Amino acid sequence: MDDNVGTGGHVPVMLERVLELLAPALTGPAPVVVDANLGLGGHSEALLAAHPALHLIGIDRDPFAIEFSTRRLVPYADRTTLVHASSGDLAEVLDQAGRPLIDGALFDLGVSSPQLDEAGRGFAYSYDAPLDMRMDTSQELTAERVVNTYSAAELTRILRHYGEERFAQRVAGLIIKERAKEAITSTKRLADIVRDAIPAATRRTGGNPAKRTFQALRIEVNAELSALEAALPAALDALTLGGRVVVLSYHSLEDRLTKQALTARTKDTSPPGLPVPLPAHQPRFRLLTRGAELPSDEELARNPRAASARLRAAERIRVDD
């Protein structure tokens, strides 16, 4: 959710394309959209402004995001339901809101600029800050706890799987060695340890060597992938005929999960060799994008943090009998 907050204000990623893709699903008399990663509310504000009959349900686990978006969306307060929850609880949120069916769903995944830019949150290796990384500041698990209590095998697993770190075992080994001397409590010390664990030749290319470790820890602390694994199928199940989902992801793991979930719903699952496809096995969805769409050069010039964005979208074309 790489929102750019500066003198130019909040710049939602690929906003025009998101609006274009969702618009055909929002032509009914009382459409409902779920923004599963509300953030600073930029996409939600634009959707509410564009569709006067729209009711928007916004979900975010970060209390700051809920507080900020509540203020931002005051002009639309009678058409919004904002919920402090994980996107993984999407099905329960819809149930509690009395909105079992929706017309659109937006997922703007990842970490937001306020989380990155507020040093005290501990998301960024560019600041010396407490090793926190919690999106929901009320939860107990922090990056400090992960770094100082996980076993070498557990650290290696999350660094390799969530950070796609080639030198996961070396990084985990040095973390174990250094924390035995003194607990690792700051982002700077962790970044220095990671740098020392990465071979010098590798450090000279590819940006800050701590990037992959920090990504892995953030995903582990916030259970980001498991939330997506629960939320995206729940949103797809809730979509009405003609309903649409748009997903913005920012690293390969998110994009891979999104691609798999959407592809599974757009395949004919009839047993091979049948002369006529079975209606029960016909696709329920069709893809609206060819592969993953990328931000334009114009957008990148305006919002450099959009560089890693990948957009996928699909539409429900059949409902279960």
Q: From first to last of its 321 residues, what are the pLDDT tens digits of the chain? A: 444 443 235 689 999 999 999 999 999 999 999 999 999 999 999 999 999 999 999 999 999 999 999 999 999 999 999 999 999 999 999 999 999 999 999 999 977 665 666 656 666 667 788 999 998 888 999 999 999 999 999 999 999 999 999 999 999 999 999 999 999 999 999 999 999 999 988 887 767 888 999 999 999 999 999 999 999 999 999 999 999 999 999 999 999 999 999 999 998 877 776 777 677 778 999 999 999 999 999 999 988 888 999 999 999 999 876
- Three-state SS across 187-240? HHHHHHHHHHHCCHHHHCCCCCCCHHHHHHHHHHHHCHHHHHHHHHHHHHHHEE
Return all residues near 220 (Cβ < 8 A) that are at least 6 apart. 146, 158, 162
**In this predicted structure, what is the pLDDT of residue 200?**
87
pTM of the model: 0.89
Contact 81, 221 (CB under 8 A): no
Q: How far apart are CA 318 and CA 286, in angstroms?
A: 9
- From edge to edge, which strands make up the β-sheet containing 310-316? 80-84, 55-60, 32-35, 102-108, 239-249, 310-316, 285-287
Instruction: Write down the residue that tokens 């009320």 correspond to.
Output: 138
Contact 52, 43 (CB under 8 A): no
Question: CA nearest 107: which of 245, 251, 308, 261?
Answer: 245
